[in-house]
Amino acid sequence: MSKVRVNCFTLSLDGYGAGSDQDEQNPLGKYGAELHQWFRPTRTFKGMIGDPSEGTTGLDDDFARKGTENLGAWILGRNMFGPIRGTWPDEAWRGWWGDSPPYHVPVFVLTHHARRPLEMEGGTTFYFITDGIERALELAKEAAGARDVRIGGGVQTIRQYLSARAIDEMHVAVSPVLLGSGEHLFQNLDLRALGYRVASQVAGEKATHVSFDRVDA
């Protein structure tokens, strides 16, 4: 049975999933790049970006690899696609990743402003969805078929799907850094009341990995 899941979403020790003041030079906001010091050295990440160096193995890489398995579609918030706000001035911006993004499946981007689908190299096509999280999930499930849908972020997108109890499983990597400000994932969310529980936790090489599931999933 296919699932809706979050994988490899990194939080600081003070609970932030992105720093403040995102822009083209700082896709994850101020200090946000520090969150992913556990992920970037892994063999999985290096393979995703075409880096020929070997990369690290171990628990951190195990979680990174599991996050890529059995995926049929992704859902992203607009900030995960780019720093542009408001109406698209044109279609020149094509994402953070160059011509060959690391998704290789359909990606549904939540936005308030319509844009034509964007077909990229490697099997990734971005679809821009203007009619809400439920419609985006419906389309993503149709595209994924028997495979899973991954909610990639950012923070507000995950919060919306958690509040709707639409996420079946969630893996959070807690990185030993402090951001001080930014976007807080769990603020004013009662995960217990929403039916979520901690399923496991394990210390990797550079992050602590906490997995949640929904009791009735």
Q: Using H for helix, E for strand and C for coil, what is the string for 63-80?
A: HHHHCCCCEEEEEEEHHH
3-state secondary structure of 105: coil
pLDDT score for 28: 87
Half-sphere exposure of 23 (CA within 13 A, CB side): 3
Domains in the chain, number: 1
Per-residue pLDDT of the chain (217 residues; tens, 9 = 90+): 799 999 999 999 999 999 998 888 888 889 999 999 999 999 999 998 888 888 999 999 999 999 999 999 999 999 999 998 899 999 999 999 889 999 999 999 999 999 999 999 999 999 999 999 999 999 999 999 999 999 999 999 999 999 999 999 999 999 999 999 999 999 999 999 999 999 999 999 999 999 999 998 7
Q: Please indicate, yes or no, if residue 42 is contained in any of the structural domains.
A: yes
- Beta-strand ranges (E) seen in 63-214 are 71-77, 106-110, 118-119, 125-129, 148-153, 169-175, 183-184, 196-203, 208-214
pLDDT score for 25: 84
Q: Please indicate, yes or no, if residue 22 is contained in any of the structural domains.
A: no
Q: Please indicate, yes or no, if residue 134 is contained in any of the structural domains.
A: yes
Please give the helix or strand (H or E) that residue 156 lies within, else none: helix 155-163
Residue 130 belongs to domain with CATH number: 3.40.430.10
Q: Please indicate, yes or no, if residue 23 is contained in any of the structural domains.
A: no
- Pairing state between β 125-129 and 118-119: antiparallel
Q: Please indicate, yes or no, if residue 79 is contained in any of the structural domains.
A: yes
Q: Please indicate, yes or no, if residue 103 is contained in any of the structural domains.
A: yes
| Residue span of the structural domain in which 174 resides | 4-16+28-89+98-214
